Amino acid sequence: MEKVKLAVIYYSSTGINYQLANWAKEAASEAGAEVRLVKVPELAPKEAIAANPAWQAHVEETKNISEATSDDIEWADAIIFSTPTRFGNVASQMKQFVDMQGGLWAAGKTANKVVSAMASASNPHGGHEATVLSLYTSMMHWGAIIVPPGYTNEVAFTSGGNPYGVSVTQGQDGKMVEDVEEAVKHQARRTIDVAKKMKA
């Protein structure tokens, strides 16, 4: 059978969601998928980015990562989104990217895409679940097949236990509080497994 084509589409200001996206890419590649790792375009003004050294450093670190386009969605059998929380919702950069896919949606080209999502926030109850669920609302409009991790692997109980999609807290030191690497990889493998069944 032809390989599952996975687009890992992320937004990250200081690197947390970039790391989540890379773990997803690694696991999906190991599971036999063809993977594109792409970032959504930045909307913040240069002045705002320059005022935050960690943000500026991450922009430089990822300057060679391709920006996501509608072509990536059309190409993909499956998509994993990763976004930080902004006031309990999807970051505006990710939201604009999703909102710009009206042409694909109208042409029926978002239907039956296998989709899963991940998120981060700076507080343990800072909107992790709400962010993933709000993205899934858009995916329902797309006609996508949503694949949550649920509690299909015991790693859910050691990584924060979010059944909708892996989420992580960013501590004051800028690092992840919970250990979510294996949970991300399980979610990616599960997404590929469902996508394989859809292709078959």
pTM of the model as a whole = 0.97
**Structural domains of the chain, count:** 1
Distance CA 132, CA 17 (A): 13
Yes or no: say if 6 and 195 are a contact pair by the CB < 8 Å rule: yes
Distance CA 47, CA 22 (A): 28
Condensed to tens digits (0 to 9), the pLDDT of residues 64-89 reads 999 999 999 999 999 999 999 999 99
- CATH code where residue 178 lies: 3.40.50.360
**pLDDT value at position 175?**
92
**pLDDT value at position 1?**
74
Residue 181 domain boundaries: 5-199
Three-point CA angle 86, 92, 94, nearest 5°: 105
Yes or no: say if 111 and 142 are a contact pair by the CB < 8 Å rule: yes
Distance CA 197, CA 86 (A): 34
Tokens of 149: 């991790």
Query: Which residues does the chain have with pLDDT short of 50?
Result: none
